[in-house]
Every structure is written in structure tokens, then in C-alpha cells.
Amino acid sequence: HNYVDNPDKPAIAKYFNTKGRYEEVNPYLIEDILAVNRSILQPPSANCQEIHLTAIIRHGKRYPTIKNVKEMQQLYNIVLHNASGQESWLREIQTQWTMWYTEDMDGRLVQKGVNDHKHLAVRLSKLFPSLISEEKLRGGFIKFITSSKHRCVNSTLSFKAGLTELWAITDKEFDHEVNDALMRFFDQCTRFVQEVDNNPSALSEVDKFKQGPEMRRVTEKIADRLRVPYNNITQDMTEAAFYLCAYEFAIKAVNSPWCQLFDEDDAKVMEYASDLTEFWKRGYGYDINSKSSCILFHDVFNRLNKAASENKSGQQVTEAVTVQVGHADTLLPLLTLLGFFNDSDALTSTNYATQTQRSFRTSHMLPYAANLLLVLYDCGGGDLRLQPLLNEKPVTFPGLTDQQASMPLYQDVKDHYRELLQGCDFEMECQLFKSPA
Ligand SMILES: O=P(O)(O)O[C@@H]1[C@@H](OP(=O)(O)O)[C@H](OP(=O)(O)O)[C@H](O)[C@H](OP(=O)(O)O)[C@H]1OP(=O)(O)O
């Protein structure tokens, strides 16, 4: 397919990691942002009915955080005062482009991010019409939980607005619960905070890669393009240039002159550097990264169990849909705990070249509005099934061998994760000194 996309799209847009558009992951949305394809769900029989949906969703497109704005400012100053050259993109940066990012933007949801969640809400209501319905919403069967962060709260409001606008509901408002214990568990897991988040040596592989030959080459190429001495361009500025290209595209849908500082090879190196960070900070790098999500893991399965037992006793499922809005840091540890995107080799500072085919790629996993959906089906005669979807595409639980792999028996899923269901205790995992078992 060749979808007619924005002619102003940067050539490197598919390497933007957590700063990428959802449309890069699902290009069919470029033509029709409300498009869904129900045939991908493929339940094993026509009897199967959706009885519960849990959606764990990252917030939509946002402004840069304060730290990133500062880095952008520094790069801009160098380019404004030190760079020389006649290329039109460079002159454009120096004479037309203005540094419009300010620190008070502080990671807030942008207008396009509002739309991310409105559109997602409408698509999910088309994908699961019996669950995300006006009746269920009005009846209080759809619950909303969010991280306290403004961009998450605003995404939650946008998701709700997507539904109420769709059904033209004006006589009623629907509330949401703010729950950081569930949606920002990473802040509250002492062991994670001390051993990883606040521990500079935890990211030693990232530091080594940033000082290594691949990244040095990217930085030198930028300096060459700007005609400044190599030592004028720091690693942080290189990162800021990449961010600038990504943010200008996400927020303004333009191919910014900043994008000219990178060719595709450079972008792949930048993508790897960011994946490396995510791997060691939120992914498989350290066991505690994924274990910090134990609290969310149990929350999800408790809800599935409740839905299953209500359904079994012939009742209506009280929480038919749960929409939970959080961060990249919420989704990645949980995906890791469940075993998704686990390559045979760890990502390290020295294996960039051999990791080109890696599955651990945040550009695919975690764009803005990334989502993990867990759908529970009743296929009759006590046959319950659980289907996972990531970014609206069916995926299979890694390691679970089943002929109906994309829609395994719920019991098989529980057997597969038995150890985690019996253990994976947040308090235990997150305390600094584990008492001997
Ligand atoms: O953008 P950065 O580098 O400032 O990192 C963000 C974090 O900022 P911090 O490092 O604490 O200043 C930021 O932390 P806070 O929520 O601001 O505490 C988030 O973790 C954010 O993820 P998301 O975009 O909300 O999914 C983080 O963004 P991603 O790394 O997930 O893109």
C-alpha cells in the first residue's frame, strides 16, 4: 500500500521511538483515521462474545519536557551563532525558524494529542461495539483510570469526549479515577528508584554506546553539516536535534529543517540509542524494571477473574470496559513482564550491528497513544478466551503454544503466567532488602 501521506513527512519519521506518531505504526490510518478492520479479531467460533475489555493506553502527542526544551535551546544557540554554510535548510533555521518551545510547555498534551485519544475511542467503539457502547457508558459499565500527570488526565478527558461526541451525549458526565499506584508504579517502587532510576551506573551500556564509534560518527556528521568544530556538538545536542525533528512533525506536521541534520543511517543509530535506554531503564535490562509493574499485572488479572466469574454465574459483567491511561513507563514494564519483544540477546553498547533485526523497537511498540488491549470472550460452554492486541493488532502471548494462539483459552493464559499470578508481589519486589524466601 502507498497511502497518500503528508508530503512534509521527514524521511526518518519511522525511527522516532517514543516520540513517534501512531500512524507510523498503523499506516492505514493515514487515509482514514477512524478505519477499523474487525476481521482481524478472528474468534474461533461465531458464538464468541466479548465480555470484558481492558485497555492500557499511553497518553497522546505531547510537548517536550523541560529537560528537553533546555537541550533544544542550547543547540539552537550554537546553530544560530556558530554555524555557517549556504544550504537552504540551514539558512531557514537561522533566519526563519524561531525557538518557540518554552519550559512551561512541560510535556503537556498538544491538540493533536487530544485527537489521538478521541479517534482511538471511536475506533475501539467500532472494534468492540457490544462493549464500548452508549448503553454501557450510560449504565456505568465503563471505568476510567488515569495517572495524575496532566497529559494523562487530558488524554482521559479526550477519550471520554470522543465517545460522548460520537453519541451526542450532553446530559451526563462520566468520571475517572486518578490512581498513581497503578499508573505510575515506577515512582513508588523503591528498589527500582534506587537501583535503576537514580543509579547512574545502571545505564552504563547507554553511556558506552553514546561514546562509541556509531554515535561519535553521527555527532561528527552533524558538526560537518553545520561547519562547526566537532567539540561544539555534545551528545545532548545531537539528541535535541533529533527531538526537534520529531516534535516538529508530531505537533505541527511539518518536515522541519532540523531533520536535515540526519540521514537514514544516522536515524537508525539514534533509534538504537533510545531503545538501549528503554531496554535498561524499563525493559529486560534489570528484573526489577518489569517487576515494578506487578501491581498493575495483578490489577488486570483480578479484573479479568471478576468478569469471568460474574459471567459464569449468569450476571452481567459490572466492569465491562476499563480504560487506563498512563505513560511509556507504564506500558513497557508490563509488556516486558508478559514477555513481549524479548530478543535472544540483550541490547548492549557493542551489538548495534547485530541487533538490526531486533524485535525490541520502541518506534513500533510505544508511539503516542500506544495501547495494550486484553479482550475476554465467552465462546459458550465455559470456553473463555483472552485475546491480546498491541496497537490494535492481535499479538500472541510469547511462549504460549496453542493452535488458537491469538485467542488462547483464558485458563491457558493463567497457567502460562502461573508463577507471576502466585507471586510478583509489588511490596516484596520493591523493598530494598528482600527477606530470604
Ligand atoms: O521525554 P523525557 O526524556 O523528558 O522523558 C519523559 C519523562 O520525563 P523525565 O525523564 O522524568 O524528565 C516523563 O516523566 P514524568 O512523567 O514527567 O515524571 C515520562 O516518563 C515520559 O514518558 P511519557 O511521554 O509520559 O510516556 C518520558 O518520556 P519518554 O522517554 O517516554 O519519551
pLDDT at 403: 59
Atom of ligand 1 nearest to the CA of 149: 16
- Taking Cα atoms as reference points, which of 256, 254, 233, 269 lies closest to residue 90? 256
Q: Cα–Cα distance between 74 and 235 in angstroms, integer?
A: 12
Phi-psi region of 321 (alpha: psi -120 to 50; beta: other; left: phi over 0): beta
Q: ipTM score of the complex? A: 0.93
pLDDT at 402: 66
Q: Cα–Cα distance between 219 and 213 in angstroms, integer?
A: 10
Round the average pLDDT of the chain to a whole number and report it: 96
Q: Give the Cβ contact number of residue 142 at 10 Å.
A: 20
Active site residues: 59
pLDDT digits (tens, 9 = 90+) for 265-276: 999 999 999 999
Cα 25 to the center of its chain, rounded Å: 11
For ligand 1, mutation pick of 15, 56, 65 (most atoms within 8 Å of CB)? 65
Q: Cα–Cα distance between 259 and 69 in angstroms, integer?
A: 17
Query: Euclidean distance between the first and final Cα of the chain, in Å?
Result: 55
Atom of ligand 1 nearest to the CA of 68: 4
- Higher pLDDT: 434 or 221? It is 221
With beta carbons less than 8 A apart as the criterion, state whether 184 and 146 touch. Answer: no
Identify the residue whose C-alpha is closest to ligand 1 atom 23: 327
> What's the CA-to-centroid distance between 67 and ligand 1, angstroms?
10
Helix (H) or strand (E) holding 177: strand 177-178
pLDDT of 133 higher than 70:
yes
> What's the CA-to-centroid distance between 329 and ligand 1, angstroms?
8
For ligand 1, mutation pick of 16, 327, 363 (most atoms within 8 Å of CB)? 327
pLDDT at 34: 98
pLDDT digits (tens, 9 = 90+) for 29-84: 999 999 999 999 988 888 999 999 999 999 999 999 999 999 999 999 999 999 99
Give the SS3 label for residue 398.
coil
pLDDT digits (tens, 9 = 90+) for 87-131: 999 999 999 999 999 999 999 999 999 999 999 999 999 999 999
Residues 6 or more apart in contact with residue 384 via CB below 8 angstroms: 308, 311, 376, 377, 378, 409, 410, 411
Identify the residue whose C-alpha is closest to ligand 1 atom 7: 65
- Residues having CB closer than 6 A to ligand 1 are 18-19, 58-59, 65, 67-68, 107, 149, 327-329
Helix (H) or strand (E) holding 236: helix 235-252
Q: Cα–Cα distance between 157 and 181 in angstroms, integer?
A: 20
With beta carbons less than 8 A apart as the criterion, state whether 401 and 376 touch. Answer: no
Exposed e or buried b per residue across 371-385, where buried means at least 16 C-beta atoms within 10 angstroms of its C-beta? bbbbbbbbbeeeebb
Atom of ligand 1 nearest to the CA of 65: 4
Across the range 19-35, mean pLDDT stands at 97
